[in-house]
Amino acid sequence: MRPYYVPILLLLSAGLALPAWAAEPVAPFKIAPGLFRPDTDQLGLKLIPSERTLLYSATEEGHKFCHHANLVLFRDELYCMWSNGLVGEDAPGQRVLFCRSSDGREWTEPTVLTEHTAGGGYCVAGGFLVDGYRLIAFYTGTGTSNFHPDTALLARTTADGHSWSEPRRITEGFFIDGPWRLPGGRLLLAGEQVGGRRETGRMRLLTTAQKDGLGGWEESGIQVQHLDTFGYTEPCPYFRPDGTPVLPFRNYSGYLYGSTSRDGGRTWTDPVQTNFPDSLARASAGNLPDGTAYIISNSSPKRLDRSLLTIALSADGVTFDRAWLVRGEPTEQRFSGKDKIKGWQYPHALLWKDELYIAYSINKEDVGVTRIALQYLNVSN
């Protein structure tokens, strides 16, 4: 990122051409100087007080891969789902599990949500949505690979958390998060393009006015200038005080990219690189009760370094100027497998009863939840 200095005015007054960087749009968010200090232990961050619960621990006899955790609150119970594979990531035999809790401390034993194998593929946890009396659970059913043309989002519904409907196909694409409600009432669905669409695009963004998210999806407009900068983009929005949605994007640069929308998610600005470090991993963004924006991520510019899980806060949704360490203890993987790495990974957060709940995978083989009292984030509800 380069600041816009006064000398630009001198170039203009002299009739000289502006350098290419001067025409770049302003990034939609940034970190304050010195927020993360990569030359210090644990980025120079203090560990925030919290309580932790382990939801799933891989064993020699059972499935040894866990990832893509997602939380939701339904009928005053917390639900958590995640992808659960035999050994490695995104391979035949991968299913989706879920469990629930009435107090956020004690959780039920995991239950199978789906073992979708149509087309010889596997399934990936895709998040939840609550529509009145119904809980909708989404998952991605793949072809023979994540970006196969047949890869699509599916959904099952329940009124009681026990009996589930038959799967229903929603739209093509690869998704690991459920829909979010935008100001104004529309839903936003954000994931990845698949098949031939990846020749001209990366992130797949859609909106619908249908409150249950089971139909009516319309593709949003977004342009990507350099496709080779992006692989998985894994968008997750937060909102500025004026309601503007902001989408951070994973990419290969070592720093999050960002985009905003001014028309209810129907179109988005071209993604712009920020100075917010990212290790090439999923981040979880959202807002605290007072509107403060948060980004929970592996905030290291070193690729695939997921040893530190952090939370950063911004009062205006533009400058993130406070941060803490959520998890940073060393981890050791017990079972090797395809694409498995060490660390605290792929967070997903939810507010409930004066606490911020953060679910994540550990070494891509266990699933944990951290609870942070809002008082430690200096906010009130």
Q: How confident is the model at residue 379 (pLDDT cuts 50, 70, 90)?
A: low
Strands 293-297 and 319-320 turn out to be unpaired
> Per-residue confidence at 118, pLDDT binned at 50, 70, 90?
low
| pLDDT tens digit sequence for 135-168 | 999 999 998 899 999 999 999 999 999 999 999 9
174 pLDDT more than 50: yes
User: Would you kindly state where each structural domain of the chain is located, as residue ranges?
Assistant: 27-377
3-state secondary structure of 57: coil
pLDDT value for 16: 42
Distance CA 189, CA 181 (A): 9
Confidence of residue 5 (pLDDT cuts 50, 70, 90): very low
CB 310 within 8 A of CB 334: no
Is the predicted pLDDT of residue 20 greater than 50, yes or no? Answer: no
Position 121 scores a pLDDT of: 82
Q: How big is the chain, counted in residues?
A: 381
Q: With b meaning 16 or more CB within 10 Å and e meaning fewer, what string describes 27-64?
A: bbbbbeeebbeeeeeebebeebebeebebbebeeeebb
Measuring CA to CA, which residue among 263, 236, 264 is closest to residue 248? 236
Task: Record the tokens describing residue 126, joined without a space.
Answer: 């895709």
Query: What percent of the chain has pLDDT above 90?
Result: 90
Which residue reads 């799967």 in tokens?
A: 167
**Closest to 136 measured CA to CA, from 187, 86, 191, 172:** 187
15 or 280: which leads in pLDDT: 280
Identify which of 304, 299, 193, 315 has the alpha carbon closest to the alpha carbon of residue 256.
299
pLDDT tens-digit readout, 310-351: 999 999 999 999 999 999 999 999 999 999 999 999 999 999
Q: What is the pLDDT of residue 12?
A: 34
- For the cut 90, the answer to whether the pLDDT of residue 192 exceeds it is yes
Report phi then psi at 11, rounded to 5.
-65, -45
Which has the closest alpha carbon to 209: 178, 223, 188? 188
Strand 319-320, strand 30-31: pairing = parallel
For residue 378, what pLDDT band results from cuts at 50, 70 and 90?
A: confident
For 49-104, write each residue's pLDDT tens digit. Answer: 999 999 999 999 999 999 999 999 999 999 999 999 999 999 999 999 999 999 99
Structure-derived torsion over alpha carbons of residues 29, 32, 33, 38, reported in degrees to the nearest 10: -80
Q: Name all contacts of 144-150 with Cβ < 8 Å and 24+ positions apart.
A: 144/119, 144/120, 145/90, 145/121, 146/90, 146/174, 146/192, 146/194, 147/174, 147/192, 147/193, 147/194, 147/195, 147/198, 148/119, 148/121, 148/194, 148/195, 149/194, 149/195, 149/196, 150/119, 150/121
String of DSSP letters for 94-122: -EEEEEEESSSSS-PPPEEEE---GGG--
CATH code of 27-377, in short, is 2.120.10.10
Under 8 Å between Cβ of 154 and 140: yes
Rounded to the nearest angstrom, the gap between the alpha carbon of residue 148 and the centroid of all alpha carbons in its chain is 21
Across residues 293-297, what is the average pLDDT?
98
C-alpha separations of 242 from 66, 221, 337 in Å: 37, 22, 45
Determine the 3-state secondary structure of 231 from DSSP: coil
Residues 336, 356 contacting (CB under 8 angstroms): no
**CA distances (Å), 273 to each of 254, 331, 340, in order?**
10, 31, 27
Q: Under DSSP, is residue 13 helix (H, G, I), strand (E, B) or coil?
A: helix
The reported pLDDT for the residue numbered 119 is 60
pTM of the model: 0.92
The confidence band for 116, taking pLDDT boundaries of 50, 70 and 90, is: confident
pLDDT (mean) for 180-194: 96
CA atoms in the 13 A half-sphere facing the CB of 126? 32
